[in-house]
Amino acid sequence: MTRVLVTGASGFIGSALAPALAAAGLSVRIASRRSCPDGEVVEAVRVGELGGGHDWSRALAGVDAVVHLAGPAHARASEHALRAAIVDGTEALAEQAVSAGVERFVFMSSIKAGEGRADGYGGAKRAAEDAVLAHAGLRPVALRPPLVFAANAKANFARLLRIADTPLPLPFAGIDNKRSLISLPSLVAAIAAVLRAPEGRSGVFDVADDPPLSTPEIVAALRRGLGRPERQFRARGLASLAPRALRESLAADPGAFRHAYAWRGEDDVRETLAACAAAWKAAR
């Protein structure tokens, strides 16, 4: 396997993945709606809006594998927009990938796709998984990560970093939940592991670092990296200051992926969280 198309290459995950794959010796073609990042890539291809009518022929020409990251990263878009970009767009890309002779297709799904009552975003990701898995010749792999974190992350994780950086005590000690997380480098390594094993098992896999943590444990790790004392107390009403996603439980089971692709992830996500928080503070 020599040439990989990475869609969504200017996004949070893609901007880390494309140079990592190139550094590992793969030929990388990147596709993005925005300006494509600089790096050791074979070619940068600008693409338009995702949807069922998009023509991927130029991007797919001569490609052995596709890593499909492009699409909305959260549920803020309307259900119609989510359906068009995530489901219809992924289905069109997968169908055209078959015609182009692609031998491996990695789809970036979400842990929300596995929830019993998936929201519009999770439901769209699950439908897109089905669309990709329908093409067995692509040897498709759908990865379901939980919250992906890095010092440059946005949304919930960026908000949590800002909250953790206060010198005041925080009211999270009473939150009893379990959340899985995965660092951006771990997720990049998981994708690379699939590409290194073109004959590896197809299917849907959770990917996450160990162990799952409660919100108080997450905050404690971040505050340690920020150089703050832990200082958490129990106060049910004030705990709502934490993003809703971090008050609920959502634990992944990455065992099947580890077995199939000899991938480890981080040895202890608490240490990675602390290092991430330190890097975030140093960059401010």
Q: What is the per-residue DSSP string for 53-104?
A: T---HHHHTT-SEEEE--S-SSTTS-HHHHIIIIIIHHHHHHHHHHHTT--E
Q: In angstroms, what CA-CA distances link 22 with 26, 84, 222?
A: 5, 31, 31
Contact indicator for 273, 218 with CB cutoff of 8 Å: yes
Query: To which residue do tokens 């991927």 refer?
Result: 56
CB-count burial class (<10 Å; 0-12, 13-18, 19+) for 4: buried
Q: Catalytic: 121?
A: yes
Contact indicator for 266, 209 with CB cutoff of 8 Å: yes
End-to-end CA distance of the chain: 40
**Beta strands, E only, 150-258:** 179-183, 203-206, 209-213
Residue of 121, 257, 261, 263 marked active site? 121
Q: How far apart are CA 86 and CA 68, in angstroms?
A: 10
Which residues have a catalytic role annotated? Answer: 121
